[in-house]
Structure 1
Amino acid sequence: MQAKLMLHIDNGPAVLKRCAALVKAADLLDIPVLVTEQNPRGLGPSVDGLIGERHRVIEKDTFDATLCPDFVAALPSKETVLFVAGCEAHVCVLLTVTGLLRLGYTVELIADAVGSRAPENKAIALARAQREGALPTTTESTIFGWLGSCRHPRFRDALALVK
């Protein structure tokens, strides 16, 4: 979700809106957020306002984040389900998802919160990730799954993020 790249992502504003909703919902529910930035000297930082000081940012040069020792060291236990969103679907997202699966994680790929420059690249990446074992999901499914119930004390706050 780096600013220079997002200008070229198909349906980029919608992808960014969903990623922002996920980050805000995670913050409301005290779910840790781990952010990677691909070659930030070339692609720049994450989009302004998307992440804050409480989020861990890992700079990487590898397309598959699991080839970056700092990223792997920051991962939770393998019993934790990992939710993945970002850009580009067919490069960093796909390669990281397949890397996480190889490491033994359960991965939910948030299909409406990933993007590529070309829609066909995104479609192929989503299909391949699912074949490899990633579970497809959506932003709303993820947020409501994190809440668990409309009785959750943060339900109304989270609901406002998806309306």
Structure 2
Amino acid sequence: MKIQLPSSVLLVIDIQSRLMPAIANEKEVVGNATKLLMASRLLDVPTLVTEQNPNGLGSTVPELATGHARTVFKDTFDACEEPGFMELLPDAAKVIVVGCEAHVCVMQTVLGLLAQGRDVAVTSDAIGSRTSGNRDAALNRMARHGADLVTTEMVLFEWLQSSRHEHFKPVLDLVR
């Protein structure tokens, strides 16, 4: 099933300043998450950002700190277990997930969302871990449990649906 713009929500998990230098392919993860965040702002996609223990891991990286998204501070690895988090997600939304670390907070949150009957798409080129082995194992596990694995460009062009979309050119510029 295609990702529909009106029923999407973008969830950015723990892309934080002190964590990112340790993440394999950090630039690709941050770059793709930034593209999705910029497009979400342009296309009015609701966006949530989580920060895991910001005193220890720092705040969200500057590229993603746009003020467009609502930030949820958490101590739990699974954001779904953070009080009030689930109430921030629209009921019928397809949750588009980006973030770190793939095998910890991303995976536990995705599994939590799936357990609650949510429709989840994990943007595989916008999630990271310190090692590619942990990232790959997390992607495999999330897919086995029912998450769709997608890429940044899949999400962007499914949101647009057509080159006639009024925001086609600015979104296209994000991927060039």
Q: What is the CA-CA distance between 1:51 and the residue it aligns to?
A: 2.6
Question: Where does residue 13 of structure 1 map in the other structure?
Answer: 27
CA distance in 2 between partners of 1:11 and 1:49 (Å): 16
1:21 corresponds to which letter in structure 2? Answer: K
Question: Where does residue 101 of structure 2 map in the other structure?
Answer: 88
User: Alignment partner of 1:112: what SS?
Assistant: strand
Verify: 1:102 aligned to 2:115, yes or no: yes
Q: Deviations over 1:110-130 (max 9, x none)?
A: 000000000000000000000
State the aligned residue count. 162
Verify: 1:32 aligned to 2:24, yes or no: no
CA distance in 2 between partners of 1:48 and 1:37 (Å): 13
CA contact (8 A) 1:82 1:108 kept: yes
Alpha-carbon RMSD: 0.7
What is the TM-score when the length of structure 1 is the normalising length? 0.97
Q: What is the CA-CA distance between 1:52 and the residue it aligns to?
A: 2.0
Q: What is the CA-CA distance between 1:72 and the residue it aligns to?
A: 1.2
Q: Deviations over 1:98-153 (max 9, x none)?
A: 00001111000000000000000000000000001000000000000111111000
Verify: 1:143 aligned to 2:135, yes or no: no
Residue of structure 2 aligned with 1:120, choices 133, 150, 155:
133
Q: Which runs of 5+ in 2 are unaligned?
A: 1-14
CA distance in 2 between partners of 1:148 and 1:27 (Å): 17
CA contact (8 A) 1:23 1:51 kept: no
CA contact (8 A) 1:112 1:139 kept: yes
CA contact (8 A) 1:58 1:70 kept: no
2:151 corresponds to which letter in structure 1? Answer: T
CA distance in 2 between partners of 1:54 and 1:123 (Å): 30
1:106 corresponds to which letter in structure 2? Answer: D
CA contact (8 A) 1:3 1:46 kept: yes
User: Sequence identity of aligned pairs in percent?
Assistant: 47
Q: What is the CA-CA distance between 1:20 and the residue it aligns to?
A: 0.3
Q: Which runs of 5+ in 1 are unaligned?
A: none
CA contact (8 A) 1:12 1:115 kept: yes
**Structure 1 residues 117-126 or 48-57, which shifts more?**
48-57
2:163 corresponds to which letter in structure 1? Answer: C
